[in-house]
Structure 1
Amino acid sequence: MDPRMDIGYGDSVTKLHYAKSDTVNVLTHTNSAEHTSTKSNKADMAKRNTGVQDEDLAYDTMEGGALWDIFRRRDVPNLIKYFNNHLAEFKHADCSAVDQLKIGTPQCDAAGIKTWTFRQKLGDAVFVPAGCPNQVRNLKSCTKVEVNFVSPESVSECIRLQHELRMFPDNHRAKEDMLNIGKMMINALDQAVVDVSSGRENDGGLAKKELLQVVEQCYPDTIQRVQIRSKPMWQLILKELHLLIKCFVETSMDELTKYQLTKLQEDFNEFENLGFNLSWAQKKLDLVQKIRFGNEPLLQEIMALEESLKSSKQKFVEMKKQFEEAREKLEKTISNYDSVADARNNKARELAEARKFGDGHDGQLGFNMLPG
Structure 2
Amino acid sequence: MRSRPAQPARWFSLAEIQAARKEIEPAKGSLEKAAQVAPRSAEPWRRLAGVLEGNGEDEAATNARGRALSLSPGDLQLRRQIALTRGSPPLAWADRDGLALASDPAVKLPKGASAVRLLDQGAVEIYPDGGAVERTHTIARVLDKRGVAKFGEAQIPADAQILHLRTIKPDGRTLEPETIPGKEAATLPGLAVGDVVEIDYLRGIGPRGPDMPGLVIGGFFFRDDETPMLESTYEVRAPANLSLEVDAHGLPAEPFQKLATQQSFRKTLRDVPPQPPEPHQPGESEIMPWLQVGYGAGQPNLVRSIADWALLRARPGRRRGRSSASSPMRCADGRPEPTSRRPRRTSSPRVAETASSY
Q: Larger Rg: 1 or 2?
A: 1
User: Going by fraction, where is helix more abundant, 1 or 2?
Assistant: 1
TM bin (shorter chain)? under 0.3
TM-score (normalizing by structure 1): 0.21
User: Going by fraction, where is strand more abundant, 1 or 2?
Assistant: 2
